Amino acid sequence: MFILTVGLVSLLGVMGMAMARTEGSQQLGTSKQLANEALESILTARETANITWSQIQNTGAGGIFLPGFNPIYQAGADGIIDTADDAASGYQILVLPGPDGIYGTADDINEPLTNYQRQVQIVQANDNLGNPISGLRQVTITINYYPPGFKVAQTYILQTYISAYR
């Protein structure tokens, strides 16, 4: 009886952790999408020549991208994510299907992304010896979020390179 009780109690603990992870997977999926969205915004601005190569940097290096972690705002008038004009556009909102399970009906749930933060860091890319590589920058997009029931922020990082050549 004792062995059976210990087994059932440990099984309950595993079930609780599984439920927490399942709920956290939606936030992880949202984080991945937010990081990809920011990268696509940068690449589209470069491809369409809406900004110059010198502007594809953080503000401290002469570019247009805000440093540090910032709230997830909608893109501002320039259409580029994480620039100075975004705050005026308000928080980005995630629309989820409501209780009927159908997207686009009156019972949809509008969830502002206030528990997420995004950092776009753009630095000069270097070779193995630490020498700068002309026309190449490293882009690191970090998303911090707080899943329900967790007091510690979870992090998703997307890292890639962007070149000056279209």
Per-residue model confidence (pLDDT) at position 24: 67
Per-residue model confidence (pLDDT) at position 25: 78
Instruction: Report the amino acid identity of residue 152.
Output: V
Rounded to two decimals, the pTM is 0.81
- For the chain, the domains span 2-85+115-163
Separation CA 73–CA 90 (nearest Å): 5
Q: From first to last of its 166 residues, what are the pLDDT tens digits of the chain?
A: 888 888 888 888 888 777 766 666 788 899 999 999 999 999 999 999 889 999 999 998 999 999 999 999 999 998 899 999 999 999 999 888 888 988 888 899 998 898 899 999 999 999 999 999 999 999 999 999 987 767 788 999 999 999 998 7
Distances (CA, A) of 17 to 20, 116, 125, 148, 154: 5, 22, 40, 12, 16
